[in-house]
Each structure stands twice: as C-alpha cells, then as structure tokens.
Amino acid sequence: MAELHQFRVVAWWASGSTGIAKSAATLNAIHFARPTAHGGLEGRWTPEDLLLCAIASCFTTTFRAVTQNSKFDYADLQVEVAGDIDSTDGRNQFSEVLIRPKLTILRDADQSQAVALLHQAAQLSLVSRALAIGQRFDPHVQVGQLQVINSSGIGSF
C-alpha cells in the first residue's frame, strides 16, 4: 500500500503590493511580491525566488539523505539555482533552470563517489522531478575543510 504525505500552503494578497504565504508545517509566514521588474516591492521574495528555493532546498535535503544512506562524509555543500525566464507571445515562462551544487569533500580519494552521489541526488530530487522545464546540472567537487557560516547572511554566488 502506497504511503501518502500531504503538504499544504495558503497564500493571500495582504495589501497593495505584497502577499503572505503560510505553511501548515511552520509558524513563520513568508512575505512575497511580484518581481520588481513587474512593479513588485524590493526586498521581498518573489514566486520565482520561492520556486528556485524549493529546487535548491530539495536538492540539499535529498543529497543529505543520499550521503547518510551511503555513510559518506563531506565538509560543505552549497547549492546555487538560477532560472532563465523568456517572454514569448506576451507569456513569461521558465526556459531553463541551472542547478549548481558545490560540494567540499575531505579527501581527494572520494572525488568519484562524491560526483556519483551528486548525480544520484539530482535524479531523486522530488521538486526537480515535478518540473517540466529544462534543467542543467553542473556539479563541482573540491577538497577542503568544514566551513562555519556566521549569522551575517549568505554569501554571493
């Protein structure tokens, strides 16, 4: 018998140029707006940002599960996801998404296994598999030490 997992998000337009989304799984709400190029507020998540975030976070959690099952240790994983939107006949649509994981491993001898696990996570990532848009996968593996990220924010990519 198949196991069913349900997720629920509610979004509503709050006022003026912003909306709010709330997940049944968390207490925190997300304030969002249209992209600034379309009259949205600067500094707010957009639906496009949220889609790319879903792809990146799903890949990250999938990779973590894959490496735990394989008993593979790594120092750091950063996943950049970029999307191209084309406008054809007045319709905007994603034409491609680039998923670029940057994995830092502890030993040079683990390179081939690291690449194989990155590709396995890409194949298993639920959100990516749910999308009908073209996707490119460009993994990078380097040898290094564990990195600690402070509370000053995210780095640039």
**35 lies in which domain range?**
8-45
Residue 2 covered by a domain: no
Q: What is the pTM of this model?
A: 0.82
Residue 23 shares a structural domain with residue 64:
no
Residue 53 shares a structural domain with residue 20:
no
pLDDT digits (tens, 9 = 90+) for 42-82: 999 999 999 999 999 999 999 999 999 999 999 999 999 99
Residue 50 shares a structural domain with residue 36:
no
Residue 53 shares a structural domain with residue 70:
yes
C-alpha distances in Å from residue 100, one per residue of 68, 105, 138, 151: 21, 16, 5, 23
Structural contact between residues 100 and 81, judged by C-beta atoms closer than 8 angstroms:
yes
CB-based burial label for 125 (10 Å; 0-12, 13-18, 19+) = buried
Residue 57 shares a structural domain with residue 67:
yes
Residue 124 covered by a domain: yes
Residue 56 shares a structural domain with residue 38:
no
Number of folded domains in the chain?
2
Structural contact between residues 96 and 133, judged by C-beta atoms closer than 8 angstroms:
yes
Residue 3 covered by a domain: no
**Alpha carbon distance 79, 73 (integer Å):** 17
Residue 82 shares a structural domain with residue 15:
no
Indicate the range of 107-111, 118-122, 142-146 predicted with least confidence. 142-146
Residue 56 shares a structural domain with residue 122:
yes
Q: Does residue 85 register a pLDDT over 80?
A: yes
Average pLDDT, the chain: 89
